A and B are shown apart, each in its own frame.
Chain A
């Protein structure tokens, strides 16, 4: 006798422990199998783009901190690069090096959070998460030395960074660079070969490169599918063209690849920081840029960086006043979400959570 069954629809989120913020998915299940996923977002909308129109160019930096709040430095960087293009400001050498150091440390911190929460979603009861946070804590302490804040840093300014690094920052950075490869090896050893982790992530949530490119996906998710694309190489900003580093590429685009690409990227980030420390010149950390300035009327600029989650871009339009006429934010999390149903349908409920965790979404950036 065939039992008649019917699909059920479940609202996952907005208040769910694994939606990494206030995200909601309306998911239709047949038993445990996913039939359909419909993302619903906007619960964290704060109108950042509109607010930017009411503030002068320097004040907007504090708004960018609150986009992707686990990677504030790269948000600052993208915005500052856009403003520099708009107003024709040339940042100082030392400022650019400091920006890259801060941004790469931020990338490590963000990837640590992504890895930790991926493991948390896999059900490893907070232990790997706390290990990742232990390392992240040291980075946040260094940010505190740089600018007094840990999360919402507002460290960068058009023309460089707002102040030079203090004396005690450099020894702290050196010890960190010595310790961190060991921590990464430890993570690698604990997690990468684990039978359950491999069984849960291998060939789960597979993203095809064609779909990724059509969906305009960027960042580690795109690279895990095997596509060579990294803004740091494709359109070098600041001083990335003087630095030697590799970009890890995955082969299949499953959850395991996304995890592994992030892990390798952290190693490459360490390489970049090491070279920056060796090359950094003396001089002012910030160009002479006034607090309030007026870019030429009608000017438009698009500044983009490789943020930890993908291509983060700011499109600015000036009308000759002290505030941007329009500030459009291309946030990687938002655009990476567009392939969510492609990588979820056909898998199981437990895979949904893991796949969502491995795409590393930040709701502050999605809803803006």
Chain B
């Protein structure tokens, strides 16, 4: 075997297929080899999600001046496994007022987008379960399923907290889907394709540099899509207890939780593919690069979660419609104009052109972000004069003159 091919799943797939082909009919060996690869990739993602649960809890512990899980295994590495075993042993409760059928199926619907999106991610050089030519569109369509699952869970629970969570989810995810799609549209314009493989292949300059505005919007919209802080109103634990999955227990709750953590992994993989050249970059094997970049985005999401408080539902919707939507349209139009004027005769974009666009777009991003924030009447708070008096001037029980 070619030693360089060791890290490439293609080598393994081909080896398995050729070996099986000697003894089985070719359609069967094709099916078994393909299934084995899918099984490996999806389970690797699940394993990553489990590892991420440990990492998130551990890193959050460090953010919060405490230890984090450190009891079972080295550095508490086996903690997620212990949790999973505990959750498996829990009683599975279906509330009295629940719609049983929908209630039971919701966790599965919630989980199913995760492997579906993994399927189109090019996780290493020449490795993707499938590279369909409408990859981006597929991703957008599939992420909508999680909203459906949240609404099913919230509605079927027969619990008012869950209903609040479900209503919020629908309102929010509809709002954030639109800027997300428009942003991805500008990426499609740049690469000239919707296929994930082509997006990576044409990405000679990271689109993070070419499209900073799109990147900012994408990160915010995808955070909202995943219900991550500061957009985690759907399950806002201090308001709605657990939001849409308040009534779930046992492994059904575990499915929701695993789906949420896996969603972070998948979203990071998506961000890596779209904005950070996917598996490309020299020296290290492509799969390692992909994991490293993904880890970087995962840490970014985690950092935001540990730092920022939650927004209110009206503020979140206003933010989507008033701020993100116009900016995403600006980004799309700017990209369209740039591509129209700067492209080569055959419609492709050279590396130099991409760098020029990067310069233009950085200027545009700063102007658009700052300018639009000012247009929206971003109030500058000066907290200092709010504490009016220090009590020494004025009689007891009286009120000081209003100071504004």
Instruction: Write the chain A residue with the least CB distance to B312.
Output: A350
Instruction: Write the chain B residue with the least CB distance to A16.
Output: B241
Q: Do the beta carbons of B241 and A125 come within 8 Å of each other?
A: no
Q: Do the beta carbons of B381 and A198 come within 8 Å of each other?
A: yes
Q: Do the beta carbons of B315 and A199 come within 8 Å of each other?
A: yes
Q: Do the beta carbons of B399 and A123 come within 8 Å of each other?
A: no
Q: Do the beta carbons of B236 and A228 come within 8 Å of each other?
A: no
A residues near B305, Cβ cutoff 8 Å: 125
CB proximity of A105 to chain B, nearest CB, Å: 20
Q: Do the beta carbons of B390 and A197 come within 8 Å of each other?
A: no
CB proximity of A37 to chain B, nearest CB, Å: 15
Instruction: Write the chain B residue with the least CB distance to A201.
Output: B309
Task: Determine the distance from Cα of A248 to Cα of B395 in the docked complex, in whole angstroms.
Answer: 14
| Other-chain residue from B64, B308, B314, B404 in contact with A348 (beta carbon distance below 8 A) | B314
**Interface assignment of B63: CB less than 8 Å from any CB of chain A:** yes
Q: How large is the interface on A (under 10, 10 to 19, 20 to 34, 35 or more residues)?
A: 35 or more
CB proximity of A257 to chain B, nearest CB, Å: 6
Q: Do the beta carbons of A8 and B400 come within 8 Å of each other?
A: no
**Interface assignment of B46: CB less than 8 Å from any CB of chain A:** no
Q: Do the beta carbons of A200 and B307 come within 8 Å of each other?
A: no
CB proximity of B203 to chain A, nearest CB, Å: 33
Instruction: Write the chain B residue with the least CB distance to A226.
Output: B399
**Interface assignment of A59: CB less than 8 Å from any CB of chain B:** no
Interface 0/1 of A104-124, CB less than 8 Å to B: 000000000000000111111
Q: A130 and B241 in contact (CB under 8 A), knowing A248-B390, A264-B387?
A: no
| Other-chain residue from A125, A192, A250 in contact with B388 (beta carbon distance below 8 A) | A250
Task: Determine the distance from Cα of A61 to Cα of B383 in the docked complex, in whole angstroms.
Answer: 41
**Interface assignment of A238: CB less than 8 Å from any CB of chain B:** no
Q: A233 and B391 in contact (CB under 8 A), knowing A123-B229, A131-B65?
A: yes
B residues near A246, Cβ cutoff 8 Å: 390-392
**Interface assignment of B164: CB less than 8 Å from any CB of chain A:** yes
B residues near A122, Cβ cutoff 8 Å: 238, 309-310
B residues near A234, Cβ cutoff 8 Å: 396-397
**Interface assignment of B364: CB less than 8 Å from any CB of chain A:** no
Instruction: Write the chain A residue with the least CB distance to B61.
Output: A130
Task: Determine the distance from Cα of A367 to Cα of B201 in the docked complex, in whole angstroms.
Answer: 67
B residues near A127, Cβ cutoff 8 Å: 63-64, 306-307
**Interface assignment of B96: CB less than 8 Å from any CB of chain A:** no
Q: A248 and B391 in contact (CB under 8 A), knowing A127-B64, A228-B397?
A: yes
**Interface assignment of B352: CB less than 8 Å from any CB of chain A:** no
Task: Determine the distance from Cα of A195 to Cα of B160 in the docked complex, in whole angstroms.
Answer: 30
Known contacts A123-B230, A233-B396, A247-B391; 10 further A-B pairs (Cβ under 8 A): A123-B229, A124-B307, A125-B229, A130-B66, A200-B309, A200-B312, A249-B390, A251-B387, A251-B404, A350-B310
A-B pairs with beta carbons under 8 Å apart, 25 shown:
A16-B241, A18-B238, A32-B314, A122-B309, A122-B310, A123-B230, A125-B229, A193-B383, A197-B309, A200-B310, A200-B315, A202-B381, A228-B399, A229-B397, A247-B390, A248-B387, A249-B387, A249-B400, A251-B400, A251-B403, A251-B404, A257-B387, A348-B312, A349-B164, A353-B239
- Which residues of B approach A to under 8 Å, CB–CB? 60, 63-66, 160-161, 164, 167, 229-230, 232-233, 236-239, 241, 305-315, 381, 383, 386-392, 394-400, 402-404
10 closest A-B pairs by beta carbon, nearest first, are: A123-B310, A246-B390, A247-B391, A130-B64, A124-B309, A122-B309, A18-B238, A350-B312, A226-B399, A251-B388
